[in-house]
Structure 1
Amino acid sequence: MTRKIVAGNWKMNLDYDEAKLLLKNLIASKDQFPSDVEVVICPSAPYISAFAEVLRDQDWISLGSQNNYFIDEGAFTGEISPKQLKSLGVKFGIVGHSERRDNFDEDYSMLSKKVKALLKHNVRPIFCCGEQLQVRDSNVYKEFVMKQIQDSLFKLKPEELAQLVIAYEPIWAIGTGKTATADQAQEIHHLIRSRIASEYNDKIANQVGIIYGGSCNADNAKELFSQKDIDGGLIGGASLKTESFTAIANSF
């Protein structure tokens, strides 16, 4: 079974001084984080280099990126390559967050390339999937989420897929204050794991980390994390405060 994971997606928040202070407070709170939980922070791209230096001797916390391109180098102004991220010690990379799908038109083909590009450099993708409210209300949400996973991930080799973390993020619960119930989240997490087992095998399905990413906070994390197939959380706003982030990490 995969190690439990709590990943903080800081999104486009905090100026540099604020981000440095948050990192300092997290490091000072090291003893409050369980040793059996993989702790990941994904700050804004301009801060990754400096954070990498600070975290060089902090092996209990991993650095992640919020986005990447799928080519190692070249004339792609403004993009960040997996090769560059790897050179900074980045260990995880968020791919396909709903905000990038919706705001930047990232399709299944592009996301598949981004995942492969990260894996090439041994950076673990955190692949996001999830449905809008109208999809859930139309009762086709299972098929919708499965298509996201199938079209972007099921061409991977078994050993590649085993490296993935999949974040189920019901879009209707991101930044809205709404949260899927523990049963609703478990239903999709179980579906994802079962589908991977069917396409690959049980061993691979149990190696893939499947985490919840829809308004997970200190109040609901314990109930969510108690579900059999929920291996942790991709945390948004609650990761911007040391107290709530440590509380979530202690919710298993």
Structure 2
Amino acid sequence: MRKKIVAGNWKMNLDHAAGLQLYAEILKLINEDVKGQQKVVVCPPSIHITSLTQLSIGNSIVALGAQNCHQFNSGAYTGEISASMLKSSGADYVIIGHSERRAFFAEDDLVLAQKLDVVLENGLIPIFCIGETLEQRNAGTHFDIIESQLKEAAFHLDGSQFQKLVLAYEPVWAIGTGLTATPEQAQEVHAFIRAKVAEHYSSDLANELSILYGGSCNPKNAAELFSQKDIDGGLIGGASLKARDFIDIIKVFNS
């Protein structure tokens, strides 16, 4: 049975005190309101991870993740953070290939393939992001783009490695814009991704793979999105910075 996952990406927001306050509120509301078997992942700025790990003691629902890591374990890379450092700080997950990293930091498929390798080597779980721009969707090439991103960055992994990934489909045109793919549009792409994974690996592996939707998901549209057959949760941006909104998204999976 596929894991249901809601991951929050705080991006470059919240100083240390504000991060502690938000996380404490999230934990409190989870204890009060979350009843299902879903997994919750919070990805704050990396400077927060060690402190938030201490707050997490005794909580089995919430895991911590980072928003990025370097493709090498160590070296003369001033300002960078390695997967081994993140692991030692208490992180369990790492977002790899977010569209903002691709766009603003020119991360290509070769770099992302290296990052997936080093993340897995260090016992972390990658949340690997794929998705198309508005221009690519309008041109009708979005399926080609997504297939290429999978093939060039992730399909070099063997099945035992790939099954550890969480995938996140993020239509770039719906991130931070207020636009959202319709449930039907999102489902169509998620089903395409699952089919490509089945084609390259196996149907069993594909059917066990969690694929999240990322793109202006909020408490108003989460239930309809998450009801789709191949959508297993969300990678949440802005709404994860508001504890009540984030919890209301998580509660969609209450059972």
TM range (shorter): over 0.9
C-alpha separation in 2, matches of 1:33 and 1:78: 37
* Cross-structure match for 1:4: 4
* Cross-structure match for 2:85: 84
Cα deviation, 1:209-233, whole Å, max 9, x if unaligned, reads: 1000000000000000000000000
C-alpha separation in 2, matches of 1:51 and 1:17: 11
Is 1:157 the counterpart of 2:163? The answer is no
In the TM superposition, 1:138-177 aligns within 5 A as: 138-177=139-178
Structure 1 residue 45 displacement after superposition: 1.2
C-alpha separation in 2, matches of 1:116 and 1:57: 30
* Cross-structure match for 1:225: 226
RMSD: 1.0
TM score, norm. by length of structure 2: 0.96
Is 1:125 the counterpart of 2:123? The answer is no
Structure 1 residue 33 displacement after superposition: 1.9
Work out whether residues 49 and 90 of structure 2, in 8 Å CA contact, stay in contact via their aligned partners in 1: no
* Cross-structure match for 1:26: 26
Q: Extract structure 1 runs of 4+ deviating beyond 6 A.
A: none
* Cross-structure match for 1:42: 43
Cα deviation, 1:115-162, whole Å, max 9, x if unaligned, reads: 111111121100001111111000111111111111101000101100
C-alpha separation in 2, matches of 1:100 and 1:123: 19
Structure 1 residue 191 displacement after superposition: 0.3
Structure 1 residue 39 displacement after superposition: 0.3
* Cross-structure match for 1:136: 137
Q: Extract unaligned runs of 5+ from structure 2.
A: none
Cα deviation, 1:49-102, whole Å, max 9, x if unaligned, reads: 211222233222100000001222222211111111111221110000000000
Is 1:102 the counterpart of 2:103? The answer is yes
TM score, norm. by length of structure 1: 0.98
Structure 1 residue 2 displacement after superposition: 1.8
C-alpha separation in 2, matches of 1:60 and 1:177: 29
C-alpha separation in 1, matches of 2:91 and 2:10: 15
SS of structure 2 residue aligned to 1:62: strand
C-alpha separation in 2, matches of 1:63 and 1:248: 18
C-alpha separation in 2, matches of 1:216 and 1:27: 21
C-alpha separation in 2, matches of 1:245 and 1:48: 19
Aligned partner letter, 1:14: L
* Cross-structure match for 1:248: 249
Aligned residues: 252
Work out whether residues 163 and 207 of structure 1, in 8 Å CA contact, stay in contact via their aligned partners in 2: no
SS of structure 2 residue aligned to 1:249: helix
Identity across the alignment (%): 46
Work out whether residues 34 and 249 of structure 1, in 8 Å CA contact, stay in contact via their aligned partners in 2: no
Structure 1 residue 172 displacement after superposition: 0.4
Q: Extract unaligned runs of 5+ from structure 1.
A: none
Aligned partner letter, 1:44: P
* Cross-structure match for 2:53: 52
